[in-house]
């Protein structure tokens, strides 16, 4: 079978690329190894699919070519995405700028894309695991385990390596490499971090608001604020996810990685000292230190933190002096934990690294192989939590599809 545009991978970016290519008049086919389109979408946003975000800034995207990614994200921006979604039947709702389908169901996003693809005469080939791509004079020969297809243009939308059970196992890197592309080492991102300290066992399940700041070889490289989740062996939650890509890459390069946790980011050091003095020293009657601190932090967190500080939660507040208050405030604003590992791709939401964006034109066409286009997570770009990774999939997918059909 022969197509103007063949899309490999029927995830978010591949489905958007196929729709855009079809709109520009091309004969389009999608090869997807899963039996259904958009499997990963079902897991996004805890089943609700946070598909984009009103707040767009360069700092929300991390790549080796921010100029290109900005051009692509502006070329098919949030407004155009919402319009395209509306055209295929997905109405959106915003919660503090975070966009979800009005249905609140990721399943409806997948369904509407599938409907748009099947009703627009785009040929969808399920259970089609692409195993080989050959370049020809006038296009590409694509082999699945069972058969072969020809495409004048090819859009590689195979995703990264995160959540391989959804189909993205990194096969796209092999194909891109085979056509001369450089692959920046793919590593897990938006992922839990493991800490060296043994006391995390006692913190499992506790959540606390805080600011996490990442230091690599002593230099502060990233920070974020939000709800930190403590696990049996480390830290998780959105702020940790958002700094994780730097930690994982630094660990891979055998660098020293330390995370400073500020449990009172909304208090200055002096205000915190004053609050601690009021609760622990200037009391009309003594209480245990635990009682005195109750209301400041999660009650299960307090005894563990006090133990790390060398204090006993059940001691009377009378044991404390001014220097101890100052030391407590310093610790609570700069609790340092050593990062020694991270969860694997299986549990990562995205991949950092991938096909080098410096080898790609703003049309999403390869600079090295004419007729070859890329979109989505297979490229060296990862976003923070909040709809940014899907926005990259929609933007790069749309632009790749449109240009593959028109050029």
Q: In terms of CB distance, is 52 or 369 closer to ligand FAD?
A: 52
Stretch touching ligand FAD by CB under 6 A, among 147-155, 157-165, 222-230, 292-300: 157-165
Stretch touching ligand FAD by CB under 6 A, among 85-93, 196-204, 303-311, 386-394: 386-394
Contact map string, positions 162 to 201, toward ligand FAD, x by CB under 6 A:
xx--xxx--x------------------------------
Backbone angles phi, psi at 302, to 5 degrees: -60, -50
By the rule CB under 6 A, 29 interacts with ligand FAD:
no
By the rule CB under 6 A, 39 interacts with ligand FAD:
yes
d(CA 346, CA 339): 19
Q: List the one residue out of 339, 337, 400 whose CA is nearest residue 372.
A: 400
Stretch touching ligand FAD by CB under 6 A, among 34-42, 66-74, 267-275, 319-327: 34-42
By the rule CB under 6 A, 380 interacts with ligand FAD:
no
DSSP β-bridge partners for residue 143: 132, 148
Find out whether 272 and 331 touch, Cβ atoms under 8 Å.
no
**Residues 258-297 close enough to bind ligand FAD by CB under 6 A:** none
Stretch touching ligand FAD by CB under 6 A, among 133-141, 156-164, 225-233, 299-307: 156-164
Among 29, 101, 139, 159, binds ligand FAD (CB under 6 A): 159
Q: How far is the CB of 209 from ligand FAD (least distance, A)?
A: 21
Q: Is 138 exposed, middle or buried (0-12, 13-18, 19+ CB in 10 A)?
A: exposed
Find out whether 397 and 12 touch, Cβ atoms under 8 Å.
yes
Q: In terms of CB distance, is 168 or 403 closer to ligand FAD?
A: 168
Among 4, 11, 267, 280, binds ligand FAD (CB under 6 A): 11
By the rule CB under 6 A, 117 interacts with ligand FAD:
no
Q: Is 95 exposed, middle or buried (0-12, 13-18, 19+ CB in 10 A)?
A: exposed
SS3 76: coil
DSSP one-letter code for 202: G
Q: Cβ atoms within 10 A of the Cβ of 74, count? A: 12
Alpha helix stretches (DSSP H) within 160-268:
171-178, 238-252
Q: In terms of CB distance, is 233 or 377 closer to ligand FAD?
A: 377
By the rule CB under 6 A, 349 interacts with ligand FAD:
yes
Q: How far is the CB of 110 from ligand FAD (least distance, A)?
A: 10
The answer for residues whose C-beta is within 8 angstroms of residue 56's C-beta and 6 or more apart is 73, 77, 78, 391
Find out whether 208 and 237 touch, Cβ atoms under 8 Å.
no
Q: In terms of CB distance, is 272 or 390 closer to ligand FAD?
A: 390
Stretch touching ligand FAD by CB under 6 A, among 74-82, 125-133, 256-264, 330-338: 125-133
Q: Rounded to an integer, what is the distance from CA 168 to the centroid of its chain? A: 14
Residues in the chain, overall count:
407
Residues in contact with ligand FAD by the rule CB under 6 A: 8-14, 31-34, 39-40, 43-45, 49-50, 128-130, 157-159, 162-163, 166-168, 171, 349-350, 376-377, 387-390, 393
């Amino acid at each position: 079978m022969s197509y103007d545009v063949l899309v490999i991978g029927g995830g978010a970016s591949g489905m958007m690329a196929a729709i855009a290519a079809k709109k520009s008049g091309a004969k389009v086919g999608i090869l997807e190894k899963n039996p259904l389109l958009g499997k990963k979408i079902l897991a996004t946003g805890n089943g609700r699919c946070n598909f984009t975000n009103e707040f767009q800034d360069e700092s929300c995207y991390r790549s080796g070519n921010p100029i290109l990614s900005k051009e692509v994200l502006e070329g098919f921006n949030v407004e155009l995405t919402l319009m395209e979604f509306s055209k295929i039947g997905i109405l959106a709702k915003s919660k503090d700028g975070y966009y979800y389908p009005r249905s609140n169901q990721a399943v409806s996003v997948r369904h509407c894309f599938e409907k748009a693809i099947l009703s627009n005469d785009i040929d969808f080939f399920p259970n089609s695991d692409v195993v080989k791509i050959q370049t020809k004079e006038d296009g590409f020969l694509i082999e699945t385990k069972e058969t072969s297809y020809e495409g004048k243009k090819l859009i590689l939308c195979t995703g990264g390596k995160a959540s391989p059970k959804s189909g993205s196992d990194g096969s796209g890197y092999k194909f891109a490499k085979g056509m001369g592309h450089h692959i920046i080492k793919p590593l897990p991102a938006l992922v839990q971090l493991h800490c060296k300290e043994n006391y995390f066992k006692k913190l499992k399940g506790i959540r606390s608001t805080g600011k996490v700041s990442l230091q690599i070889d002593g230099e502060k490289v990233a920070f974020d604020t939000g709800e930190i989740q403590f696990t049996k062996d480390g830290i998780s939650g959105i702020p940790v996810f958002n700094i994780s890509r730097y930690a994982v890459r630094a660990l891979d390069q055998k660098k020293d990685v330390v995370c400073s946790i500020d449990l009172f980011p909304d208090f200055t050091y002096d205000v915190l000292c004053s609050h601690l003095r009021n609760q622990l020293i200037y009391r009309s009657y003594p209480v245990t230190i635990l009682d005195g601190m109750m209301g400041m932090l999660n009650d299960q967190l307090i005894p563990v933190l006090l133990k790390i500080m060398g204090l006993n939660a059940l001691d009377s507040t009378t044991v404390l002096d001014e220097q101890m208050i100052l030391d407590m405030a310093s610790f609570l604003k700069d609790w340092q934990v050593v990062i020694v590992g991270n969860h694997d791709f299986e549990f990562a939401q995205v991949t950092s690294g991938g096909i080098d964006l410096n080898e790609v034109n703003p049309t999403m066409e390869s600079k090295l192989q004419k007729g070859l286009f890329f979109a989505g997570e297979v490229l060296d770009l990862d976003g923070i939590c909040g709809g940014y990774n899907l926005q990259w999939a929609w933007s790069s997918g749309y632009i790749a599809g449109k240009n593959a059909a028109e050029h």
